[in-house]
Structure 1
Amino acid sequence: MRWIRGVGGLIAASAAAATMPASAQDARMTTMEAPAEPNAVPLRTGPVKGQAAPEAWFKQYGVAMTRNVSSATLTPFLPDPATATGAAAIVAPGGGFLMLSMENEGWRVAKALADRGVAAFVLKYRLKPTPADMNAFEQAVTAMFASVGKPQSRLSPDAAIAGLSDQIADGRAAVALVRSRAAEWGVDPQRIGMIGFSAGAMTTMATALAAPETRLAFVAPIYGSMEAVKVPADAPPLFGVLAADDPLFARKGFGLIDAWQQAGRPVEFHLYQAGGHGFGLGKHGTTSTGWFDSFLHWLDTNGLLKRR
């Protein structure tokens, strides 16, 4: 894989409605009160180096997002015990490592998983510092988008992962926490996987590749980079999703999928005709709305949803 320098290249935010429903009209970022997060469990992975501005929440395209996260947390969304399968998924929202699309790619996805019997845990991982002033923040996001696609902004996989030590540590801590409380949360410790969106897809893949001791049962990069990586011999099964009109990652080949296949590891890939980037559970009016059911079917077919 190659990712964009500084923001990882897996951008899921802001200009051009990257992470928001396409039908929404209000692109302005508006501040909001921090929501109550009574079930959020601190991961205690430490602060962000150089972090100055406090964590702040805002809305864009009508959904909640956060930035300047310096203390990682994990929020459980547990299924009804009567329908629980024992499977679990760490959910990593996107946002270019400058913000997190908590509602569109976190809470909604976690609730959908819990409704289908999968214990879900939204990972609010640490981010790069951004200006406290909203106007200055918007300018920083605009500058981030301006760098996308420039050859000098692209990094090798190893170099990109080396810059994600905070996110990898948060991913590792999330898996360790769920495994340590597996009995309490009704989770099979051998069936914990990770699903991520855009920058969250990079966090997912970086955790799997750089921290194999997490022993993930599956990885699901949703509209993440499709460039090739070196696949470990014991890499987990992979489920990938991308829209053919994704402005960031389409029309650049499918090296990630090819690499997984050439390594002899289980892989399934869905390329949808339309959906753009940042469609969450699916963009209305496109076939991208089918990916979630396909994902659940894949988990089931691989024996990950069988109650034990």
Structure 2
Amino acid sequence: MALNPGKRAFPMTSIRSILATWALAVPAAATAQSIPVAPMAAPPQAGAIPLGTGGVAEMPPESWFTLAGRPTVRNVATATLLPVLPDKANATGAAVVIAAGGGFVMESMEAEAMKPARWLADHGIAAFVLKYRLDPTPAPMEAFKQAALARFAAAAAAGAKGGASVAAPPAALADAQAAMRLVRAQTTRWGVDPRRVAYMGFSAGAIMGIDLVKAAAPGTTPDLFAAIYPAMAPTPVPAGAPPLFVAVASDDELFGKQGYGLPESWRRAGGAVELHVYERGGHGFGFDGKPGTTSAGWNAALLGWLGAHGWLTK
């Protein structure tokens, strides 16, 4: 099944925007052949727990590859949750479910999932990496690259200048909800306080987190929500929304023209907001931030915010 540009086009302002999401610096006129992609074997995923949320019709086999050296996965048909737990002596009892970005056609599993998970565990916080279901893409790598560029080019042509936000695919949202329920249901197993389960999402993963809060299904609303370069358009926010942390660059190629509608919507609904806007960094600066810019310090701000809400103490 090829990507359908009109099906659920992820709003991009240029082809360069999606390449920035992949942390690649290439000209806007780049062809699919210029994108440095290399196939890789699926990494060990021992301990990953199937969420039992179902499959995806017409899905080719799951495929792992590197983009700029970053392990990435596509064609995910079975959602899983991988616990990355702290040393018991240092565990605080707090937890964070993590969802990477990738436009709902891939997931940046190292830079936006495993790396922050290990960092959280080092600080005593139980981390849970969500590998959620994606839209199908063509199995051959060259066909995938061509189809992905066609999809993003079509979205760019639509020209969402400060346009409305987007919604997560229903399957991905259901996976996030299942992940939140599972962590809270297995608190004894993992030593987690069910009242201290946060959610952190990057780009598409952050969009999914916004929808997670808006859906407010029983047992699925996070106690804290960290949105890293999310869609920034205004959106309805329910009463009782959790404290929100946002880290974004002012030169974000995807959402930089949307202003600050997301945190403003949160404030108007009575929710607490911490907003960090970095002068430069673009979209997709990852857990380490973009070298040479102040976005490289964003995770220190996140740590302070988590500490202020009691995630670093027992």
TM-score, normalised relative to structure 2: 0.88
- Of residues 207-216 and 170-179 in structure 1, the stretch that sits farther from structure 2 once superposed is 207-216
Alignment of 1:35-184 (within 5 A): 35-48=43-56, 50-151=57-158, 160-161=166-167, 164-184=169-189
Deviation of 1:253 (Å) = 0.8
**Residue 276 of structure 2 aligns with which residue?**
270
Q: Does 1:29 align with 2:37?
A: yes
Alignment of 1:123-272 (within 5 A): 123-151=130-158, 160-161=166-167, 164-213=169-218, 214-272=220-278
Deviation of 1:21 (Å) = 7.0
User: Secondary structure in 2 aligned to 1:251?
Assistant: helix
Partners of 1:19 and 1:279 within 8 A in 2 = no
**Residue 19 of structure 2 aligns with which residue?**
16
| CA 13–185 in structure 1, closer or farther in 2 if over 3 Å, else same | farther
Partners of 1:10 and 1:201 within 8 A in 2 = no
Partners of 1:237 and 1:265 within 8 A in 2 = yes
| CA shift digits 1:65-86 (9 cap, x unpaired) | 1100000000111111122111
Unaligned residue ranges in structure 2 (runs of 5+): 1-5, 27-33
Partners of 1:168 and 1:211 within 8 A in 2 = no
Deviation of 1:241 (Å) = 0.9
- Of residues 51-60 and 89-98 in structure 1, the stretch that sits farther from structure 2 once superposed is 51-60
For 1:237, the aligned partner's letter is: P
User: Secondary structure in 2 aligned to 1:16?
Assistant: helix
| CA 205–219 in structure 1, closer or farther in 2 if over 3 Å, else same | same
Separation in 1, partners of 2:116, 2:160: 31
Separation in 2, partners of 1:10, 1:229: 19
Partners of 1:9 and 1:148 within 8 A in 2 = yes
Separation in 1, partners of 2:176, 2:49: 14
Partners of 1:10 and 1:94 within 8 A in 2 = no
Deviation of 1:143 (Å) = 1.4
| CA 233–57 in structure 1, closer or farther in 2 if over 3 Å, else same | same
User: Secondary structure in 1 aligned to 2:199?
Assistant: strand
**Residue 296 of structure 2 aligns with which residue?**
289
**Residue 313 of structure 2 aligns with which residue?**
306
| CA 10–40 in structure 1, closer or farther in 2 if over 3 Å, else same | farther
**Residue 3 of structure 2 aligns with which residue?**
none
Partners of 1:197 and 1:223 within 8 A in 2 = yes
| CA shift digits 1:188-223 (9 cap, x unpaired) | 111101100111111111111113421310111100
For 2:84, the aligned partner's letter is: F
| CA shift digits 1:259-302 (9 cap, x unpaired) | 11112211110000111111111111111121111111112112
- Of residues 81-90 and 99-108 in structure 1, the stretch that sits farther from structure 2 once superposed is 81-90
Separation in 2, partners of 1:14, 1:66: 19
Give the alignment's Cα RMSD to 1 decimal. 2.5
- Of residues 298-307 and 288-297 in structure 1, the stretch that sits farther from structure 2 once superposed is 298-307
| CA 14–44 in structure 1, closer or farther in 2 if over 3 Å, else same | farther
Separation in 2, partners of 1:22, 1:146: 17
Deviation of 1:29 (Å) = 1.4
Partners of 1:10 and 1:198 within 8 A in 2 = no
Partners of 2:241 and 2:271 within 8 A in 1 = yes
Unaligned residue ranges in structure 1 (runs of 5+): none
- Of residues 140-149 and 165-174 in structure 1, the stretch that sits farther from structure 2 once superposed is 140-149
| CA 262–13 in structure 1, closer or farther in 2 if over 3 Å, else same | same
For 2:21, the aligned partner's letter is: A
Separation in 1, partners of 2:12, 2:195: 28
| CA 108–69 in structure 1, closer or farther in 2 if over 3 Å, else same | same
